[in-house]
Amino acid sequence: MHIPDGYLSPQTFVPMYAVSAGFWAVGLRKLKAQLTVKQVPYLSMAAAFSFLIMMFNIPIPGGTSGHAVGGGIIAILLGPWTAVIAVSVVLMIQALVFGDGGITAYGANCFNMAIVAPFVTWFIFRAVAGNRKSGVRPMAGAFLGGWLGLSVAAACAGVEFGIQPIVAHGPGGAPLYAPYPLSIALPAMFFGHLLVFGPFEGVVTMLLVKYFYSTDAGFAAAGAQAAGKKRWKLWLVIAALAALTPLGIIIPAKLGGGDAWGEWGAETLRKMLGYVPAGFKGLHNLWNPPIPNYGAGAASSGTGGYLASGFTGAVLAVGLIYLLSKFLKGGHKSSRLSYLDKGLSHIAKVTKNSYVQWELSSRRGFLQELDARVKVIFTLLMLAAVNIRKDLPTELVIAAFIFILALASKADLKLIYARVAFIGFFFGFLIALPSALNIITPGRPILTLITLREAHSFWTYTIPREIGITSGGLFGVAMLTMRVANSVSLAMLVLFTTPFTEIMRALKTFRVPDSVLAVVNLTYKYIFIFAKTVEDMHLAKISRTAGDVDGSEARRWAAGRMGIIFKKTQTRCDEIFKAMLSRGFTGEMRLRGQGAMKKSDWLALLAACAAGITLIFV
Burial per residue of 407-438, b for 16 or more beta-carbon CB atoms within 10 angstroms, e otherwise:
eebebeeeebbeebeebbeeebbeebbebbbb
Domains in the chain: boundaries: 10-328
558-617 per-position pLDDT tens digit: 777 778 878 887 788 888 888 888 888 777 766 665 678 888 889 988 998 998 888 888
Residue-wise pLDDT tens digits, 326-356: 888 664 444 344 555 555 555 555 555 554 5
As a whole number of Å, the end-to-end CA separation of the chain is 56
What's the pLDDT at 119? Answer: 97
Closest CA to 471 of 313, 294, 310, 300: 300
pLDDT tens digits along 440-456: 888 888 887 777 778 77
Q: Is the pLDDT of residue 418 over 90?
A: no
Is it the case that residue 243 has pLDDT exceeding 50? yes
Higher pLDDT, 110 or 33: 110
Residue 60 has pLDDT above 70, yes or no: yes
Q: CA nearest 469: which of 445, 488, 496, 433?
A: 445
Q: What is the DSSP letter of 367?
A: G
> At 223, is the pLDDT very low, low, confident or very high (cuts 50, 70, 90)?
very low
User: Is 227's pLDDT higher than 60?
Assistant: no
Tell me the mean pLDDT in the region 126-132.
89
577-610 CB burial, b ≥16 within 10 A, e <16: eeeeeeeeeeeebebeeeeeeeeebeebbeebee
Question: What was the pLDDT predicted at 336?
Answer: 42
The β-bridge partners of 58 are 66
What's the pLDDT at 49? 92
Question: What confidence tens digit (pLDDT) does each residue in 461-502 have?
Answer: 788 888 888 989 999 999 999 999 999 999 989 888 888 778
**Residue 54: pLDDT band with limits 50, 70, 90:** very high
The rounded distance, in Å, linking the Cα atoms of 496 and 282 is 65
Contact 26, 66 (CB under 8 A): no
User: What is the per-residue DSSP string for 453-519?
Assistant: SS-EEETTEEE-SEEEEEHHHHHHHHHHHHHHHHHHHHHHHHHHTS-HHHHHHHHHHTT--HHHHHH
Q: What does the pLDDT read at residue 345?
A: 58
DSSP 425-451: IIIIIHHHGGGGBTTTS-S-EEEEEEE
Q: How many other CB atoms are found less than 10 A from the CB of residue 43? A: 25
Q: Which residue has the higher pLDDT, 51 or 468?
A: 51
Three-state SS at 44: helix
**How is residue 226 annotated by DSSP?**
T
Calpha distance 393→95 (Å, rounded) = 38
Q: Assess whether pLDDT exceeds 50 at residue 55.
A: yes
In this predicted structure, what is the pLDDT of residue 514?
78
Is pLDDT above 60 for 129? Answer: yes
For the chain, give the mean pLDDT. 83
Sign of the Cα torsion 463, 468, 473, 478 reads positive
Q: What is the largest CA-CA distance in the chain?
A: 106
Confidence of residue 222 (pLDDT cuts 50, 70, 90): very low
Q: Distance (Å, rounded) from C-alpha 209 to C-alpha 189? A: 27
pLDDT digits (tens, 9 = 90+) for 268-311: 888 888 889 989 988 888 888 888 888 765 444 467 778 888 89
Which of residues 460 and 166 earns the better pLDDT score? Answer: 166
Q: Please state, in angstroms and rounded to a whole number, the distance separating the CA atoms of residues 445 and 436.
A: 9
- The helix/strand/coil state of 305 is helix
Greater confidence (254 vs 6) lies with: 6
> How deeply is 404 buried, as exposed, middle or buried, from its count of CB atoms within 10 A (0-12, 13-18, 19+)?
exposed
Looking at residue 184, its pLDDT comes to: 93
What is d(CA 554, CA 552) in angstroms, rounded to the nearest whole number? 5
Q: What is the pTM of this model?
A: 0.60
Question: Could you confirm whether domain 10-328 is CATH 1.10.1760.20?
Answer: yes
pLDDT at 521 over 80: no
- The dihedral formed by the CA atoms of 322, 328, 329 and 331, expressed in degrees to the nearest 10: 140
**Spatial separation of the C-alpha atoms in residues 448 and 295, rounded to whole Å:** 7
User: What's the whole-number mean pLDDT along residues 237-260?
Assistant: 84
65-107 per-position pLDDT tens digit: 788 899 999 999 889 999 999 999 999 999 999 999 999 999 9
DSSP one-letter string for 234-297: HHHHHHHHHHHTTHHHHHHHHHT--SPTT---HHHHHHHHSS--HHHHHHTTS---SSGGGGTT
Please give the pLDDT value at position 353.
Answer: 59
pLDDT, residue 350, reads 54
Buried b (16+ CB within 10 A) or exposed e, 193-210: bbebbbbbbbebbbebbe
Q: How confident is the model at residue 419 (pLDDT cuts 50, 70, 90)?
A: confident
- Is the model's pLDDT at 20 over the cut of 70? yes
How far is Cα 79 from Cα 565, in angstroms, rounded to an integer?
50
Q: Which residues contact 249 (CB under 8 A, 6 or more apart)?
A: 57, 296, 302, 303, 306
User: Residue 265: which of 237, 241, 297 has the closest Cα?
Assistant: 297
Across 249-266, average pLDDT:
81
pLDDT band at 146 (very low <50, low <70, confident <90, very high): very high
- CA-closest candidate to residue 113, choices 179, 212, 29, 193: 193
Query: Residue 53 pLDDT more than 80?
Result: yes
458 band by pLDDT with thresholds 50, 70 and 90: confident
